[in-house]
A and B are shown apart, each in its own frame.
Chain A
């Protein structure tokens, strides 16, 4: 699935994410920050998996699964919507 990060979502360098529509805030780890930045750059799911595979020492299947879980969280917390 491809996601589009909502325009007004604020993400700091330290991984603090603020959703100004709901007032919710979250802390994400460095991999999460990478994914958010890739989403900001309008990368597709396929591109993100490829990018993460190059940067991190993990097999594609694990990356796919973890990315799917992370996407689900982004949708659940109204930080992103399906593209």
Chain B
């Protein structure tokens, strides 16, 4: 591996519903003995990461995944011709499928990725969680995919209120009545499309684990966290690392079973009887990944090393009781920078 790597990172939306881009970049910049040049990939002119020159060396606007992989590949080829990319870190759920499909072509261009395979990615979708749980003997809440409003009554008859109504990529609401279910169904359908997922509500404490699998069944890193402050969007604004072996064991079991490759975030709930349920498997590092780095496990850097074929021994320790507390900051930006990204698509 070269001493200086050029790494493209998406998810620069460091908003109140933050993408993982800036935390991943922060982790890469912490990589001891490695110099990194960071290329930001943005979808919107106002993604805050565009305007953080200490973190992002150069940014390029890229087409939305919905524009098709050909358009994205064309843009990446241009960026590669200018920057000489070594690695791409896609950080949005919605773009991962496209990047996974493009991974062989990117590799042939000398651009590495470290992503799960299509099968692994597909089987952990929220709407396939029951099959996933059964296949790998993991406890999951009962879930149903609902593909139209007419299916709602039949689906609901299989649940007791409250029921969790979820979008296929993001957003979840707890509904206590039929009216609320309809309201959330429409809201989620309009934003994320179908199916909408109904999930059994489990009363208990929520936990999260950030982890890295090497694609051969080994868990390279795993750090559990409990949210201490949650925004109205359900995002962690503060959190703390935990010493809870059961969470790590469940993560290892999952990664060993489906040979996960890449970063992931598990969302789990422990009910009153101490039974752990996997509620969601997010196929990328979460926005709070830097907490794990600060606690001693630089998983983003380890993912790049693995992509380059380096042997990476599993992390054995992390600091328990390490906290993060987010803050907001009004970054002052010159109109000329906004103009550049708006008109030229580069900054």
Contact = CB atoms under 8 A, between A and B. Distances in A.
Nearest to A8: B243
Q: Size band of the A side of the interface?
A: under 10
Nearest to A25: B240
Contacts of B320: 8, 20
Contacts of B225: 23
B95 interface: no
A22 interface: yes
Nearest to B270: A22
A61 interface: no
Contacts of A18: 321
B interface, over-half SS: strand
**A18, A20, A22, A23 — most chain B CB neighbours (10 Å):** A23
B242 interface: yes
Contacts of B342: none
A14 interface: no
A12 to B, nearest CB: 11
B205 A22 contact: yes
A73 interface: no
A23 B242 CA distance: 6
Interface in A14-71: 18, 20-23
Given A22-B226, A23-B228, A10 B242 contact: no
Contacts of B321: 10, 18, 20
Contacts of B228: 23
Interface string B222-246: 0001101000000000011011100
A25 to B, nearest CB: 8
Contacts of A22: 205, 226, 242, 244
Interface string B293-321: 00000000000000000000000000011
B106 to A, nearest CB: 39
A23 B323 CA distance: 10
Contacts of B240: 23
A21 B239 CA distance: 13
A7 to B, nearest CB: 10
A76 to B, nearest CB: 12
Contacts of B242: 20-23
Nearest to B205: A22
A55 B330 CA distance: 55
A18 B240 CA distance: 11
Chain A CB count within 10 A is highest, among B225, B228, B244, for B244
Contacts of B205: 22
Nearest to B246: A21
Contacts of A8: 243, 320
Interface of A: 8, 10, 18, 20-23
Interface of B: 205, 225-226, 228, 239-240, 242-244, 320-321
22 contacts: A8-B243, A8-B320, A10-B321, A18-B321, A20-B242, A20-B243, A20-B244, A20-B320, A20-B321, A21-B242, A21-B243, A21-B244, A22-B205, A22-B226, A22-B242, A22-B244, A23-B225, A23-B226, A23-B228, A23-B239, A23-B240, A23-B242
Given A21-B243, A22-B244, A23-B228, 8 more contacts: A8-B243, A8-B320, A20-B244, A20-B320, A21-B242, A21-B244, A23-B239, A23-B240
* Shortest Cβ-Cβ A-B pairs, 9 listed: A23-B226, A20-B243, A23-B240, A20-B320, A21-B244, A23-B242, A8-B243, A20-B242, A18-B321
